[in-house]
Chains A and B, each alone.
Chain A
Amino acid sequence: MAQKTKQAKLDMTKQLQTVEEQFQVFQILNEEGKVVNEAAMPEITDDQLQELMKRMVYTRILDQRSISLNRQGRLGFYAPTAGQEASQIASHFALEKEDFILPGYRDVPQLIWHGLPLSKAFLFSRGHFKGNQIPEGVNILSPQIIIGAQYVQAAGVALGMKKRGKKSVAITYTGDGGTSQGDFYEGINFAGAFKAPAIFIIQNNRFAISTPVAKQSAARTLAQKAVAAGIPGVVVDGMDPLAVYAATKDARERAVAGEGPTLIETLTYRYGPHTMAGDDPTRYRTTDLDNEWEKKDPLVRFRTFLEAKGLWNEEMENETIEKAKEEIKEAIKAADAEPKQKVTDLMSIMYEEMPFTLKEQYEIYKEKESK
């Protein structure tokens, strides 16, 4: 039999390259605090720049104090945030009060800046239902533990806003590992199909507990996963507050203009462990890698940038640090003062009206609690 030689090959290598080229890292401030992309500079006042820096410094202190308080047993579940200030705080800074946040378990800082009292954030950490009782008018859910669930729910919140004719967005966050979940894909795909005003943020800190991002997917960027949903996706330097702010702001404008959702991947890093529940990052991360990412610290470059503009100094930094420490102390005191939870409390928040068997159990526990 005559051998047939294949003449033309599908150029799959080129396909991968071409896709990757669509997802170049968006940066405004480099590691030295220099503006490298003047054209993309967001419109932001000096006051706002200072406020953003204050929030980032505050959040760094909050992380340091939360880790200590956790070690002293005065906090419970805690997922460190140091390193992700630009990704978390600058993205939040682009939001409005009417926007609804569906956070993951590491996204407590965004909730605090959206209006969740610090004492409630601490009660959440400890495991007290009052920590999750969100004040009226603060548009947030408590941190989602099931990775991906916040994504499908965000599609629903966004569709709800669209149906109500609101000029607001639903914003949600997950990590690099979370992009492997089915709910991640379903969430962005639903929001795309309904053209709903949602902003999906992937905070790619390179590790899902101990698993490096290369083991999650062969995709060269996580932002390109947006292609599967037919929505825009962007990769942002997640250590650059101005780039994160600008990208989120643009996504928000698209969304409220009725143009649908956006997927934003922030390239970031967590300096600490995955959580305070015994994770030891030295088992899976090298010192070299830690050092490399410490040089990218969002606080360092933003500080340099602001100092050069005469908008920041040591005194302002110290004031912010002292304020944070003082407020944290007060919030822990407030959390300590919260009455202990009773089983009857837990029963009474199950349904609008207790079913028969729960009522029976309620009486039994009420009797126990009265002794």
Chain B
Amino acid sequence: MAQMTMIQAITDALRTELKNDENVLVFGEDVGVNGGVFRATEGLHKEFGEDRVFDTPLAESGIGGLAIGLSLQGFRPVPEIQFFGFVFEVMDSIAGQMARMRYRSGGTYNMPVTVRSPFGGGVHTPEMHSDSLEGLMTQSPGLKVVVPSTPYDAKGLLISSIRDNDPVIFLEHLKLYRAFREEVPEEAYTIPLGKADVKREGKDLSIITYGAMVHESLKAADELEKQGYSAEVIDLRTIQPLDIETIIASVEKTGRAMVVQEAQKQAGIAANVIAEINERAILSLDAPVLRVAAADTVYPFSQAEQVWLPNYKDIIETALKVLKF
């Protein structure tokens, strides 16, 4: 075991899979010699060579096309999109092409691609760097979408994503890259995709969340504890497909639930989680399922992040509404 930040855990997962499978290829803008703009691919070019870890021209759509073509030649591509705000350039390759390949070819071809990309607010990035656009991905049949919140989860989920034979969008929250260290096993291990994790057990309220909001929710849960409320915090980890069983089991136990996301209210995946709860566990509910989400504006100018991004205080406020409904 070693103490790792999330970004180290990600590099470790990439190294593990580059070693494990010669078909794994890592490529993108500045991921080679430079080791990535966040050092996620640090040392990999040197260790595995230009043939396995390489830079590309600056064109996201081309990177997507490259991944598709390489998959058709039996490779297992792990391309990087430098910031997920740039996904619009490659929406066709992702949602219009790789997500559909198995289906459109009737199973003749499949796309074992893992698109890695950072996103997320709180670090004063310039425009189109921090936007939470995961909702766009979860609405595209054929994709799986993974958002880890801890170093341990990041490594296990990334190894699973790379080994998955269908396309996975692996979103890495910028603020969590180096926020804290955690014990991470040095050997290869996997965490199943589509499985949530109960990060904190509770009996009064289910807080269902993902990404940076997991930590805000845990902080809120600590505060709620002081006020006599026991909140269960569920980290979805995979937001498409959802772990319906874990969500519903928790709601049936607590009778109250809320969904927390960093994305705008009209975006993200909270609405989907609420719909699933309403369809499957309405008789267990003592209160409506409320949402914590950002305002329905464009992602804020960097100086306005603090007042715009949802945080633990918003979570506490909404939790009390649900608890006292």
Interface positions of A (Cβ within 8 A of B)? 100, 129-130, 132-134, 141-142, 146, 149, 151-161, 163-164, 170, 182-183, 186-187, 189-190, 193, 346, 349-352, 355-358
Contact = CB atoms under 8 A, between A and B. Distances in A.
B73 A154 contact: no
A351 B75 contact: no
A346 B106 CA distance: 8
Contact of A153 (B65, B144, B194): B65
Given A160-B74, A355-B194, A133 B69 contact: no
Given A156-B66, A190-B65, A350 B194 contact: no
B59 interface: yes
Contact of A149 (B92, B107, B245): B92
Contacts of B28: none
9 contacts: A100-B72, A132-B105, A134-B108, A151-B65, A152-B93, A160-B70, A193-B57, A352-B102, A357-B244
B104 A187 contact: no
A352 B110 contact: yes
B300 interface: no
Contacts of A149: 65, 92-93, 96-97
Taking each of B57, B66, B72, which has the highest tally of chain A beta carbons within 10 Å of its own beta carbon? B66
B72 A153 contact: yes
A182 B61 CA distance: 8
B73 A142 contact: no
A156 B59 contact: no
Contact of B68 (A130, A142, A156, A158): A156
A351 B102 CA distance: 7
A182 B67 CA distance: 17
B278 interface: no
Contacts, number: 135
Contacts of B185: none
Contacts of A132: 104-106, 108
B64 A160 contact: no
A182 B62 CA distance: 9
Contacts of A189: 57, 59, 62
Nearest to B164: A352
Interface in B40-86: 51, 56-57, 59, 61-62, 64-75
B242 A133 contact: no
Given A349-B103, A350-B142, A356-B245, A146 B97 contact: yes
A144 B160 CA distance: 30
Interface residues of B, number: 44
Interface string B192-225: 0010000000000000000000000000000000
B93 A187 contact: no
Nearest to B99: A350
Chain A CB count within 10 A is highest, among B62, B72, B109, B243, for B62
Given A134-B108, A189-B62, A356-B244, A141 B72 contact: yes
Given A352-B110, A355-B241, A356-B194, A154 B59 contact: no
Contacts of B64: 152
Given A170-B69, A351-B166, A152 B62 contact: yes
A147 B93 CA distance: 12
Given A350-B102, A352-B110, 12 more contacts: A132-B106, A149-B93, A152-B65, A153-B68, A154-B69, A160-B72, A163-B51, A163-B73, A186-B61, A190-B62, A356-B242, A356-B244
B166 to A, nearest CB: 5
B102 A349 contact: yes
A357 B242 contact: yes
Contacts of A164: 73-74
A183 B305 CA distance: 35
Nearest to A345: B106
A157 B73 contact: yes
Contact of A190 (B56, B106, B109, B141): B56
Nearest to B27: A159
A153 B246 CA distance: 39
B165 interface: yes
B26 to A, nearest CB: 13
Contacts of B243: 356
Contacts of B59: 182, 186, 189-190
Given A152-B66, A190-B56, A163 B75 contact: yes
B61 A183 contact: yes
Q: Among the interface residues B62, B69, B72, which one has the most CB atoms of the partner chain A within 10 A?
A: B69
A133 B106 contact: yes
